[in-house]
Every structure is written in structure tokens, then in C-alpha cells.
């Protein structure tokens, strides 16, 4: 079967896992969030994912999460989809956050596997079904076992795909075969959650990406997909390869992506602010390395 979601992705193709800007004192910076959201959409993002891993969701309150959705919705209007991260380790709390995101104006919710408790697959399936039934928004499942300790197994995804509101997966499983298996047998829209997989997953029927690196180079990452769609696969490959250095420094250099993305955003004069503890800011040498890789990519 041809995965129809790859032809008409539910949240767009080029999604940014947006950082959550804070003021110098660590308060939520809603003005900065609106300015950053508008800049991202103006430079190629057709969707924004809020309060995910890069959005420092473990350190923002329920009220802040809702305020962020409302502010970003106001800033981007109908020019981009707004997907709200609502996943927690508590099913009831996750369902409450899903309903709150719907009231705040989100177009969809991102639901990560419950972390720390490591539920077995039947309990994991029940968790996602309860959250999907809790509100009227479409659901993007977030499979990132390296952080949660629990994989959403392909067989579980095949069953969950039967729910009418479970429409997408953000894939950080590093199981390319498993992803292709689900793509081939369902209509789930698969979004690369690891920037090094953006083009590879797209080439086998993925819907696009949910990218941390898009915070700083939204145009370049969008261009990879556009070139592929235009049939210039060689140029798409070359641009993806050129982005590899910045992807590695942002995502695989020993610091969380929220730290590195905020560091580079700040250096570029874009809204970001500090990270909240327990995260700590990047050192000056790290920032210099990120900026140099950025210049090589965009220059």
C-alpha cells in the first residue's frame, strides 16, 4: 500500500520542535515565543511542536504549557499547525493536559510513552487509547525509548493505528526496519524525530520531520524535502550531508538539544533565553563551535 499520510501529512512536513523561550530570570517569555514562532514559520516551518523534549516540558507548569499554546496560536494563525506536547508519566495528568491543549487552540497533541515506570505493551497501549479518547484532537505518538525506557513496539503501533485520532508518530526509535514495517501496513504519518534521519525516512514514505535543528536552520532543512519532492535527489542528499556537522553538534555532542539550540539561537540574536535547571547553559567554546558549523551550512 502507498501510505496516504505521506501525500497529505496531518500536521505539515517541516515541523520544528520549538524551544520554550524564557526571560533572563527564568520566567516564561511569551513575547519571545511569539517572535520565534513567527520567524520559524516565515522561514519554512509549516508546523510547530511545543512543550516537547526541546521545549523543556519537564520544567514548565501546566498553566505555562497552555499559555504557550495560546500565544503561539495567536502569532502564527492558520499559517502553521500547532502541536502541543502533553505526555507525562501519569495517564490522568496526560489526559488533562490534552484537554487543556485543545481549549488553548492546539491542532494536535504529542504524547510520549510514560517514562520511568516502564509499562508493558498492553498497559502502554491502554494509556495511549485513554489519552486519544480524552479530547477531540489528533494524536502524534512519540517513540523515544532512549529517554523513556520503553519502546512502542511495531506490533503495538499497528494496533493503535486503528484508533481514528491516532494519526502520526514522531520516531526516535532508531529502528528503521520497524518504522518501514509500520509505514507499509498503516496510514500513520511518520515524522523523523532524529535529524540525521530526515531525508532517509522521507524517502521511504515518511511524512517529514519534527526537528530540533530547525530552530536555527529552518530554511535549509525544509529545502532538503523540497529538493527531494522536485526530483533532485542528488541535491537533497548533498544538503542533508552538509547539515550533518551541525546536526551532530546540536544533538550528539554530549549536551541536550534544548541547551545547544538555545545557545545558538541566543548567539544569532533570536529569542531563546536560558535553560531551566537541572539543565545548564552551554559553555563559550561550545557556542563558538555551533556558530562555526552554522556559518558553514548557511554560508
Beta strand extents in 9-163 (DSSP E only): 14-17, 47-50, 81-85, 108-112, 139-143
Return d(Cα 293, Cα 290) in angstroms, integer: 5
Among the listed residues 65, 103, 116, 142, the single catalytic one is 142
d(CA 59, CA 183): 33
Q: Please indicate whether residue 142 is annotated as part of the active site.
A: yes
Considering only CA atoms, which of 156, 196, 161 is closest in space to residue 176?
196
Contacts of residue 269, Cβ cutoff 8 Å, sequence gap at least 6: none
> Which secondary-structure segment (H or E) carries 180?
helix 176-185
Cβ–Cβ under 8 Å, residues 208 and 15: yes
Summarize the chain as % helix, strand, coil (round to 5): 50, 15, 35
Cα distance between residue 225 and residue 235, in whole Å: 10
CA 65, CA 74: separation in Å to the nearest integer? 14
Tell me, yes or no, if 170 is annotated catalytic.
Answer: yes
From 110, 104, 35, select the one nearest 76 (Cα to Cα). Answer: 35
Contacts of 126 by beta carbon, 8 Å cutoff, 6+ apart: none
Q: Other C-beta atoms within 10 Å of 247: how many?
A: 23
Question: 115, 116, 170, 174: which is the annotated catalytic residue?
Answer: 170
Active site residues: 142, 170
Amino acid at each position: 500500500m502507498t501510505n496516504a499520510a505521506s501525500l497529505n501529512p496531518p500536521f505539515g512536513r517541516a515541523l520544528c520542535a520549538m524551544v520554550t523561550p524564557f526571560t533572563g530570570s527564568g520566567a516564561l517569555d511569551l513575547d519571545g515565543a511569539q517572535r520565534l514562532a513567527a520567524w520559524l514559520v516565515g522561514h519554512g516551518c509549516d508546523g510547530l511542536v511545543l512543550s516537547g523534549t526541546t521545549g523543556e516540558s519537564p520544567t514548565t507548569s501546566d498553566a505555562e504549557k497552555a499559555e504557550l499554546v495560546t500565544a503561539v496560536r495567536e502569532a502564527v494563525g492558520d499559517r502553521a499547525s500547532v502541536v502541543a506536547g502533553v505526555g507525562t508519566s501519569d495517564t490522568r495528568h496526560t489526559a488533562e493536559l490534552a484537554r487543556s491543549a485543545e481549549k488553548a487552540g492546539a491542532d494536535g497533541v504529542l504524547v510520549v510513552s510514560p517514562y520511568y515506570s516502564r509499562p508493558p505493551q498492553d498497559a502502554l497501549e491502554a494509556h495511549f487509547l485513554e489519552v486519544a479518547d480524552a479530547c477531540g484532537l489528533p494524536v502524534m505518538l512519540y517513540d523515544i525509548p532512549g529517554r523513556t525506557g520503553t519502546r512502542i513496539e511495531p506490533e503495538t503501533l499497528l494496533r493503535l493505528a486503528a484508533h481514528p485520532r491516532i494519526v502520526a508518530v514522531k520516531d526516535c526509535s532508531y529502528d528503521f526496519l520497524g518504522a518501514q514495517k509500520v509505514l507499509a501496513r498503516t496510514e500513520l504519518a511518520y515524522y523523523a524525530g532524529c535529524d540525521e534521519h530526515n531525508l532517509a525516512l522521507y524517502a521511504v514514505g515518511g511524512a517529514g520531520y519534527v526537528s530540533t535543528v530547525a530552530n536555527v536552520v529552518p530554511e535549509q532543512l525544509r529545502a532538503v524535502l523540497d529538493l527531494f519532492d522536485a526530483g533532485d535527489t542528488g541535491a537533497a542528499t548533498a544538503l542533508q550531508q552538509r547539515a550533518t556537522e551541525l546536526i551532530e553538534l546540536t544533538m550528539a555532542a554530549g549536551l541536550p538539544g534544548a541547551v545547544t539550540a538555545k545557545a545558538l539561537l541566543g548567539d544569532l540574536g533570536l529569542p531563546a533565553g536560558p535553560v531551566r535547571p537541572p539543565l545548564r547553559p552551554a559553555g563559550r567554546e561550545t557556542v563558538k563551535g555551533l556558530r562555526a558549523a552554522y556559518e558553514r551550512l548557511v554560508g
